[in-house]
Amino acid sequence: MSFGLDNLPYGVFSRPGEPRRVGVRVGDQVLDLAAALGGDVYAAPSLNPLLALGRAAWQETRARAREAAATGDHLIPLAEVTLHLPVEVADYVDFYASLEHASNLGRMFRPDDEPLKQNWRHLPVGYHGRAGTVVVSGTPIRRPCGQRPSFGPSQKLDIEAEVGFVVGVPTRLGERAGAFEDHVFGVALVNDWSARDIQAWEYVPLGPFLGKSFATSMSAWITPLDALEEARVEGRSQEPEPLTYLRRQAPWGLDLTLHVELNGETVSTPSFRDMYWTPDQMLAHMTVNGASLRTGDLFASGTVSSPGQPGSLIELTWNGAEPVKLPGETRTFLEDGDTVTITAWTSHGISLGEVSGRILPAT
Amino acid sequence: MSFGLDNLPYGVFSRPGEPRRVGVRVGDQVLDLAAALGGDVYAAPSLNPLLALGRAAWQETRARAREAAATGDHLIPLAEVTLHLPVEVADYVDFYASLEHASNLGRMFRPDDEPLKQNWRHLPVGYHGRAGTVVVSGTPIRRPCGQRPSFGPSQKLDIEAEVGFVVGVPTRLGERAGAFEDHVFGVALVNDWSARDIQAWEYVPLGPFLGKSFATSMSAWITPLDALEEARVEGRSQEPEPLTYLRRQAPWGLDLTLHVELNGETVSTPSFRDMYWTPDQMLAHMTVNGASLRTGDLFASGTVSSPGQPGSLIELTWNGAEPVKLPGETRTFLEDGDTVTITAWTSHGISLGEVSGRILPAT
């Protein structure tokens, strides 16, 4: 991974005995932004104060960080720092924006019915997840217990490879969001761990709850939108045409390829380019009812599945019926000790870092 | 409303030109806790620092507040203060714990099916709501727009009369909550405003989203559990017997009667005593998968409906088919300018204050 001067993602780091502060990744080093640029905003234990400043300040910070990085000063080897959750997450919303993912799950769970529910092509279906259990990449994931419907450790522990969007500029209650780039600071990789057996029993009629709330992992590095300019693409064509408030004003599809690795083996490479609903549409939908945004809100795309390249094991193994082959073994769902790492790259070579987690046995 | 020395609920207030701080309601006055007791905890703009201290500190604060209130010093007339959102809400979870409410909605929406889904008697069904749009009682509520499925202002704007529980003491990720009274600080009244037409179109398969996320109102006063000792009752009998982790360890049913007023007329008086799932069971369920609690988490009961006394208009009017009579007019769902006020009392005369809101027209 290069992380050159055209990338410069933001994170929060600390050195032993020192407080958390904001850094920018440059190659395998961290630019200490508080030391390089000065100011309370960068000495904060999360990106939230920077997020709240808005687009002009984000662009100025990025220009100054690039200059500072070029000097070679205030750079600390990654090996010497601990990375922390970069954002104090306000509300966490998860969408369901992949046509392939929604269709696959529909086919599996409602084989006698249309795979897509009637509303799916009319709005980006979404729900609120648990903000308090969003953890930084590298945090071990404890296998959850629950009703499956008999009580015990989940036997269908799964991943969801997703792309997340971090909100900087808030709105007031009753107000709709403006342009995507005026509110959204940047992009994270997200793994929305899912206990499929718990979820299947509990989710009717109010949606997923404990099957998801035990943990959601996000990457330590947030890639600013400005680093992704060259990756912007038109969104996938939509039929029927969305209502006025959902119409795209600018291309906010992103040409990103995700790499899902299970114990070091790549098992799928879905493309974010194939998503049916684009993130600008998600933002417009989320606020059309007047719901306000807060600095630190995180909304994620839902599982990114492309034709033949699904972003979850339930799809990859067709609910366990077709195990995936790994060297010397197979997998249906996750076993204790398994490590899942999701990376993503633009076709121009910008890395979105990684989101990784290892499964601990249930207690 | 008396608000005597046996009650003493907590809130956050300010006087013009002065910062927000913690107060305790005494009759029609506010005891300025920062002035009376000193300390940064009470000078805070939310109850969260006090919430984080835990039960021993809550009890000590209550004893000192009672002594201070008896002196008559540091009391400010309610008319001179503004009341604010008392809690910085971390995650907001809403349950669906009334047998009558869940059965009524099942009968209305799935007339050919069993009213209750198969899971309902096995676990307290719940979901995450939007924490960022929880507002204090008195905040005007803007009628939301959305897909119904045609786009426009909601034509089925409804209330949900609920009882909410405020978490003080957090847990670590992977850990289950301990005893109810060791985590939960106190009780609020909640109105979970609901746009039934938006909700009905969007909620399959991931649950309510924009039909609820535009606003949730909570009372300005949080009644500490210690003020409700005499109201504690055994919970309603449950069949089948819940799994071990859901078994009640102590009586945390509450003998509270809610009064739902629409434009000053009482339209329903449901009892919290009739709830099928008790709040200790909700807490145990919410954390059985290892999901952590944070200080400021709010979980609400879902609509409190008793036999013949529903806590929502959709039940009271049977989805609009049987309008409710008010002096000189009728209502099916809420009209612009309507005011809904929910109050609650224990049978021993402890008031839980009120949660109130007036509907503004859509923009």
With the CA atoms of B146, B150, B156 and B157 taken in that order, what torsion angle do they form, in degrees rounded to the nearest 10? 10
A267 versus A2: the higher-pLDDT residue is A267
Hey, is B310 helix, strand or coil?
coil
- pLDDT of A253 above 60: yes
CA-nearest residue to B148 within chain A is: A119
Strand runs labelled E in B213-300? 216-218, 223-224, 232-233, 253-254, 256-262, 265-268, 298-300
Hey, is A87 helix, strand or coil?
coil
**In angstroms, rounded to a whole number, what is the distance separating the alpha carbons of residues A155 and A196?**
8
Q: Among A203, A285, A291, whose Cβ lies nearest the Cβ of B133?
A: A291
Q: Report chain B's C-alpha Rg in angstroms.
A: 20
Helices (H), chain B: 33-37, 48-53, 55-71, 99-109, 180-183, 196-202, 210-213, 279-287, 313-316
Buried-state track A276-293, b at ≥16 Cβ within 10 A, e below 16? bbbbbbbbbbbbbbbbbb
* Number of cross-chain residue pairs from A and B with Cβ atoms under 8 Å apart: 171
Nearest-Cα distance to chain A for B120, in Å, is 9
Residue A288 identity (one-letter amino acid): V
Place of tokens 């899942």: A340
Class at the top of the CATH hierarchy for domain A92-360: alpha beta
Average pLDDT of every residue of chain A: 97
- pLDDT of A263 above 80: yes
DSSP assignment of B46-115 equals SSHHHHHH-HHHHHHHHHHHHHHHHHTTTEEEGGG-EEE-SS----EEEE---HHHHHHHHHHH-TTS-S
Residues of chain B scoring pLDDT < 70: 1
Q: Does B210 contact A285 at a Cβ distance shorter than 8 Å?
A: yes
B330 is in an annotated binding site: no
B94 is in an annotated binding site: yes
Domain ranges, ordered by start, for chain A: 10-84, 92-360
Q: What is the mean pLDDT of residues A315-329?
A: 97
Q: How far is CA B22 from the centre of its chain?
A: 20
**In angstroms, rounded to a whole number, what is the distance separating the alpha carbons of residues B165 and B170?**
14
H or E segment to which residue B219 belongs: none
- How do strand B134-136 and strand B216-218 relate by DSSP bridges? parallel
Report the pLDDT value the prediction gives residue B227, as an integer from 0 to 100: 98
Percent of chain A with pLDDT over 90: 98
Report the pLDDT value the prediction gives residue A258, as an integer from 0 to 100: 98
Nearest-Cα distance to chain B for A15, in Å, is 23
- pLDDT of A183 above 90: yes
Chain B residues with CB under 8 Å of A303 CB are none
Q: Are B10-84 and B92-360 equal in CATH topology? A: no
Query: Taking the CB of residue A115, how many other CB atoms lie within 10 A of it?
Result: 16
Which of these, B179, B154, B162, lies nearest to B126 by C-alpha position? B162
Q: Which of B101, B128, B259, B348 is catalytic?
A: B101
Burial class for B201, CB neighbours closer than 10 Å (0-12, 13-18, 19+): buried
**In angstroms, rounded to a whole number, what is the distance separating the alpha carbons of residues A234 and A211?**
34
- Planar angle of CA B44, B46, B47, nearest 5 degrees: 95
Nearest-Cα distance to chain A for B360, in Å, is 10
- Per-residue DSSP letter, B289: T
- pLDDT of A266 above 60: yes
pLDDT tens figures, A80-115: 999 999 999 999 999 999 999 999 999 998 889 999
Q: What is the mean pLDDT of residues A247-262?
A: 98
B203 is in an annotated binding site: yes
Q: Does B210 contact A122 at a Cβ distance shorter than 8 Å?
A: no
CA-nearest residue to B194 within chain A is: A289
CA-nearest residue to B292 within chain A is: A133
- pLDDT of A202 above 80: yes
pLDDT tens figures, B142-153: 999 999 999 999
Q: Which of B104, B122, B206 to mutate against chain A (most A CBs within 10 Å)?
A: B206
Beta-bridge mates of residue A254 = A232
Strand runs labelled E in A75-140? 75-77, 82-84, 92-95, 126-129, 134-136
Chain A residues with CB under 8 Å of B117 CB are 204-205
Active site residue B101: yes
Nearest-Cα distance to chain B for A88, in Å, is 11
Report the pLDDT value the prediction gives residue B2, as an integer from 0 to 100: 82
Helices (H), chain A: 33-37, 48-53, 55-71, 99-109, 180-183, 196-202, 210-213, 279-287, 313-316
**In angstroms, rounded to a whole number, what is the distance separating the alpha carbons of residues A112 and B67?**
68
Q: What is the mean pLDDT of residues A308-334?
A: 97
Q: Does A288 contact B210 at a Cβ distance shorter than 8 Å?
A: yes
Nearest-Cα distance to chain A for B220, in Å, is 18
Show Cβ contacts of residue A248 under 8 Å, excluding neighbours closer than 6 positions.
Answer: A234, A235, A278, A280, A281
**In angstroms, rounded to a whole number, what is the distance separating the alpha carbons of residues B256 and B274?**
10
Q: Which of A74, A84, A101, A259 is catalytic?
A: A101
Homologous superfamily of the B10-84 domain (CATH) = Fumarylacetoacetase, N-terminal domain (2.30.30.230)
Long-range contacts of B306-309 (CB under 8 A, 24+ apart): B306/B98, B306/B100, B306/B269, B306/B270, B306/B271, B306/B274, B307/B100, B307/B274, B309/B268, B309/B269, B309/B270, B309/B271
Hey, is A285 helix, strand or coil?
helix
**In angstroms, rounded to a whole number, what is the distance separating the alpha carbons of residues A84 and B8?**
40
Report the pLDDT value the prediction gives residue A2, as an integer from 0 to 100: 82
Chain B residues with CB under 8 Å of A139 CB are 173
Report the pLDDT value the prediction gives residue A315, as an integer from 0 to 100: 98
**Phi, psi (degrees; rounded to nearest 5) at B199:** -60, -45
Chain B residues with CB under 8 Å of A149 CB are 119, 122
**In angstroms, rounded to a whole number, what is the distance separating the alpha carbons of residues B317 and B324?**
6
**Phi, psi (degrees; rounded to nearest 5) at B232:** -70, 135
Q: Does A294 contact B201 at a Cβ distance shorter than 8 Å?
A: no
Q: State the number of CA atoms in the 13 A half-sphere of B8 facing the CB.
A: 22
Look at the alpha carbons of B105, B267, B7, B131 in this order and tell me if their dihedral is positive or negative: positive
- Per-residue DSSP letter, A309: B
Q: Does B206 contact A147 at a Cβ distance shorter than 8 Å?
A: no
Q: Does B127 contact A123 at a Cβ distance shorter than 8 Å?
A: no
Nearest-Cα distance to chain A for B320, in Å, is 22
**In angstroms, rounded to a whole number, what is the distance separating the alpha carbons of residues A119 and A218?**
29
B42 is in an annotated binding site: no
Q: Look up residue A321 and give its two tokens.
A: 């019926």
Q: Does B127 contact A209 at a Cβ distance shorter than 8 Å?
A: yes
Q: Among A130, A207, A294, whose Cβ lies nearest the Cβ of B207?
A: A207
Chain A residues with CB under 8 Å of B211 CB are 289
H or E segment to which residue A167 belongs: strand A161-167
Report the pLDDT value the prediction gives residue B110, as an integer from 0 to 100: 85
Q: Does A291 contact B210 at a Cβ distance shorter than 8 Å?
A: yes
- How do strand B298-300 and strand B92-95 relate by DSSP bridges? parallel
Report the pLDDT value the prediction gives residue B49, as an integer from 0 to 100: 98
Q: Among B93, B130, B204, whose Cβ lies nearest the Cβ of A119?
A: B204
Q: Does B292 contact A243 at a Cβ distance shorter than 8 Å?
A: no
CA distances from B357 to B71, B121, B190, B256, B327 (A): 34, 33, 11, 21, 20
**In angstroms, rounded to a whole number, what is the distance separating the alpha carbons of residues A181 and A8?**
18
